[in-house]
Structure 1
Amino acid sequence: MDKDEHIDLLNRHVDYLELQYNWIDSLGHTKPSNGIFYLLERFHLNHRAAFSNSSDIEVLEKRLLRLNAHCVLLTLSQDAVESRYIESRGDAWKSYVMNNHSTVTEACQKFLEDQNQLRMCAKQSLIPTLEINTDEADWNAYAKQILMGINDAT
C-alpha cells in the first residue's frame, strides 16, 4: 500500500473508534474510571516513522487524543534482541527476518535502529507513550504496567 492507502486505512479505524466512543458517551460511560479503552498494536507509531513529514498523521493523532488514546512501545535491550526477536518465534519467522539480512547481527542491528526510530517518533507524537522493556517476556506484569499507566494518566 502507498501512503494514502495507509492513511485511509488508519482513518477508517479511527472512524469506527469514534462511533463506538460517541455511542458509549451517549450512555454516560466515557469517563476513564469506567474502564473503557481500546488496545491497538502498532497502530499510528509505525506510520509516523514511515511518513515522518505527513500532516495526516498529526491530524489522526489529534483525533485519537480526543478518544484519550495512549501509546505503548514494547522494546528489547540489545542483549535480548537475538533470543527474543529472532530465535523465539520459530523457523518461519527467522526465515522471514533473515530474508533481508545476511547475518543475525545485521538483523539485530536493524531491529535496534528501527526501535530507536520508534522512540524518536513517540517523542514527536501527540499521544502519550509508555515504553516497556520486554526482555523478560513477563506478559502478565506488562499488562498490569499498561493498565496502571493508563489509570495514572487519567
Structure 2
Amino acid sequence: MSPLKKGVLVALLQVLLVGSVGAKFVYDRVAYPKAWLKTQPFDPNLPIRGRYVRLAIIVELDNKASPQGDYASRPVRLAVRDGNLVAIPDRAGPRSVHSARCGQQACWVLSEPVAYFIPEHAQDPSIRKPGEELWVEATIPPNGPPRPIQLGVKVEGKLVSLEIN
C-alpha cells in the first residue's frame, strides 16, 4: 500500500471516529429528556481554566429531605419529572448530591459541576445583575452528568435564552 493510500485511510478512520462521537451526542439529544436546570456558577480559580463557566447544578431531592448544612454526600440517580430535574436517593446511584449554600438558603447540588464552553471574546455569562438567575438547558442521559446545551437567564420568573457572542 502506498504512503498516500495509508494517509487517506488514517484520515478516513479519524473522520469516522470523530463523526461517531458527534452522532452519539445528536442521538442523545433526541432520545433523552431535556430540562432547564437552575445553576450556581463558580470559578474554580485554576490558572489554566480556558473559556468555560463552571456550573453547580441545583436539584430537588425526591424525598423532600431538607439540606442540613452538613455537606454530607448522598448517592442518587437523576430523572426528569414535569420538566424539572429530580435527584432520587439510590444507594447504587451513579451521581451524588450534597447540601450547599445557595444565596441565603440551603440547597442540594450535584457533586460534579458541569462546564459550559464559551467563545474566546464573549463576556462571562456567570456575571449577572441582582435578581437574575443563571439557568442551563441540558440533556439528562441515564449515565453520566447532564450535558449542557444552552444558557438562559431567569428574571422575575421569566426564563429567556441567553445569546453568547
TM-score range, shorter chain: under 0.3
TM-score normalised to structure 2 length:
0.24
- Larger helix share, 1 or 2: 1
* TM-score (structure 1 length as normaliser): 0.25
**Higher strand content, 1 or 2:** 2
Larger Rg: 2
Relative contact order: is structure 1 or structure 2 higher (C-alpha 8 Å, sep ≥ 6)?
A: 1
